[in-house]
Amino acid sequence: MPRILVVDDEPGVQESLRMLLKSDGDVTIAGDVDAALREISISLPDVVLLDLVMPGRSGLDLLEELSKRGVRAPVIVLTATNTVSAAVQAMKHGAADFVTKPFELEALRIKVRNLVQKHDLEREVERLRDEVEDRQQLGRMVGRSTAMREIFRAVERIARAEATVLVTGESGTGKELVARAIHDLSPRQAGPFIAVNCGAIPSELIESELFGHEKGAFTGAIDRRIGRIESANKGTLFLDEIGELEPAVQVKLLRALQERTFERVGSSASTTVDVRIVAATNRDLAAEVAAGRFREDLYYRVAVVPVKLPPLRDRREDIRLLAQTFLTRIQLERGGARAAANAAAGTATPPPKKLSAAALGALEGYRWPGNVRELENAIEHGLALCEGDTIELVDLPISVARTGQAEALREQWRQGERSFDETVTRFETEILREALESHQWNQTRTATALGITRRVLKLKMDKLGIESRGGDEGD
């Protein structure tokens, strides 16, 4: 259902529009620009009805913010007859249409419907264009899933704006890759990209690391030092794990973001910078705000445009592509040195290694609590242990090989490497072995856990050739 955002400070107008449009979409009301921005940060609207004259910030201010954030929802300006010139100005700032108060209700409803349909059509054209291009990569981000294609499109829109971005997601999902893509696609691409892991720097050093210090500011400050914020001037500053910052540093960072000025530690002179901030966290910052551990004003300052990365387990269709990409990339990075060493020794360079069907099946069946980073490490592990030209199941980390065993067997059957009967037998063998091992090979406890009798368990073990261990087979 289309999301319709009404931004107007008059209760009568709010209620009229709510009643008029409730059958056409999900109507959300905002009484001022700040409330509208909060709603937009939660969910993007499909159309916006905007009053130009409101207490505080005006409708033109909201249009400017929408442009900065890359929000492309069409805007219908609501204006009084004596402010039509302002509506024309709003059209120049990106508004799609305007109506004068008092407006004719049915005509307004038709405008809303037409703009929603047009917006839907534009998004569908964009989606189809992406499918035609079969996009699978943006920067170093890789994926063919619907979730990742939406991330790609969002990053391209966000990059062109100057708004502060908050990237959220579990550890290992690739938040820094998003930040780098935003920088590389932005007008700041020629400037520096400076990354700071706020959780990896001791609390007593983080202020100096971010803002720099003057000579003699504290013990050990033997020279002036330029901070990361100043180093990122004319470029992008990536603040990873921003939720780890101490409250005192949060205050100073907030001022730097608001005023684009700060003081080095030990200095009273202000330094002005032109920096775009991309922050990231694996914490729920809204919950941190509620718990009093993160400043609410800083949260709204950094979460202007939120980007949420899905965990790898929620985009399993990307695992095979990612695995192949990592395998190729790692071998290419190592290939130059290896080729040079082989040439010097007069030996041939071996062909690139590949992943077996069983190994790929195990990768796809594993849950990846460490996400994309863990997958890349698993490929490196496989390359390090592989002795032939194919990475087999046994070459993968034990946790991956064991957990992904079922999917590995299924993949071997799909590829014709195992018959159906052999696949079923091997699957049953693995289940029984895993159950026995988890109960220290005590058959009574294992049978109870499996919901069968000890006699049936022993018959299955004999049939599958699983030998008893530990001497005591029962009690």
* pLDDT tens profile 340-393: 555 555 565 667 899 988 888 889 888 899 999 999 999 999 999 998 899 998
Domain boundary among 84, 102, 130: 130
| Half-sphere exposure of residue 458: CA atoms within 13 angstroms, side-chain side | 9
Please give the average per-residue pLDDT across 249-272, as a whole number. 88
Strand 212-213 and strand 225-226: pairing? antiparallel
| Same structural domain, 65 and 181 | no
How many domains, in total, are found in the chain? 3
| Same structural domain, 184 and 278 | yes
Report if residue 348 sits inside a domain. Answer: yes
Q: Tell me the residue range of the domain where 339 lies.
A: 316-464
| Same structural domain, 84 and 204 | no
pLDDT at position 405 is 64
Higher pLDDT, 203 or 7: 7
* pLDDT tens profile 9-29: 999 999 999 999 999 899 999
Please give the average per-residue pLDDT across 413-427, as a whole number. 74
Closest Cα partner for 372 from 300, 314, 294?
314
Query: CA separation (Å) from 3 to 53, 251, 342?
Result: 23, 35, 62
pLDDT at position 132 is 46
- CA dist 168 and 174 (Å) reads 10
% of the chain with per-residue pLDDT over 70: 88
Report if residue 472 sits inside a domain. Answer: no
Q: How confident is the model at residue 336 (pLDDT cuts 50, 70, 90)?
A: low
Q: Residue 419 sits in a domain of what CATH number?
A: 1.10.8.60
Can you give the pTM of this predicted structure? 0.66
- CA dist 207 and 53 (Å) reads 42
pLDDT at position 71 is 85
| Same structural domain, 221 and 346 | no
- CA dist 221 and 229 (Å) reads 18
Number of CB atoms found within 10 A of residue 59's CB: 26
* pLDDT tens profile 168-222: 999 999 999 999 999 999 999 999 999 999 989 988 788 888 998 888 777 667 7
- CA dist 21 and 134 (Å) reads 37
pLDDT at position 345 is 59
pLDDT at position 474 is 47
Please give the average per-residue pLDDT across 41-53, as a whole number. 89
Report if residue 140 sits inside a domain. Answer: no
Domain boundary among 130, 160, 184: 130
| Same structural domain, 153 and 298 | yes
